[in-house]
Amino acid sequence: MKKCIAVLTVVLILVCSISAMSASADDFQKGDVNCDNSVNIKDATIIQKHSASLIVLSDAELSLADVDASNTVNVKDATMVQKFVAGLVDAIGGG
């Protein structure tokens, strides 16, 4: 039974990964770096981790993370996402 659950878990992860890979940055709002259809503090955290060289973002993730359209993903982008989440700005990015 445990093996069956483990196999099903792996299959589910693979299916989710494949469907996520088929989506492009154009399918998501600027700032939605983790592509969960919501710009939230998780996205700001991902941007901060990238800025600190703790993680590496894919090209699609970089496109979504560059909310100030500076062609660089840095703490300014994370701050813009945080302000959006806090309701201090009405919109971010162009998409």
The model's pLDDT over 7-60, given as tens digits with 9 standing for 90+, comes to 556 555 655 555 455 567 788 999 999 999 999 999 999 999 999 999 999 999
- Confidence class for position 6, pLDDT limits 50, 70, 90: low
C-alpha 11/C-alpha 17 separation (Å) is: 10
Angle between helices 41-51 and 75-85 (to 10 degrees): 170
* Rg over CA atoms, the chain: 15
- Confidence class for position 75, pLDDT limits 50, 70, 90: very high
Is the pLDDT reported for residue 95 higher than 60? no
pLDDT attached to residue 10 = 58
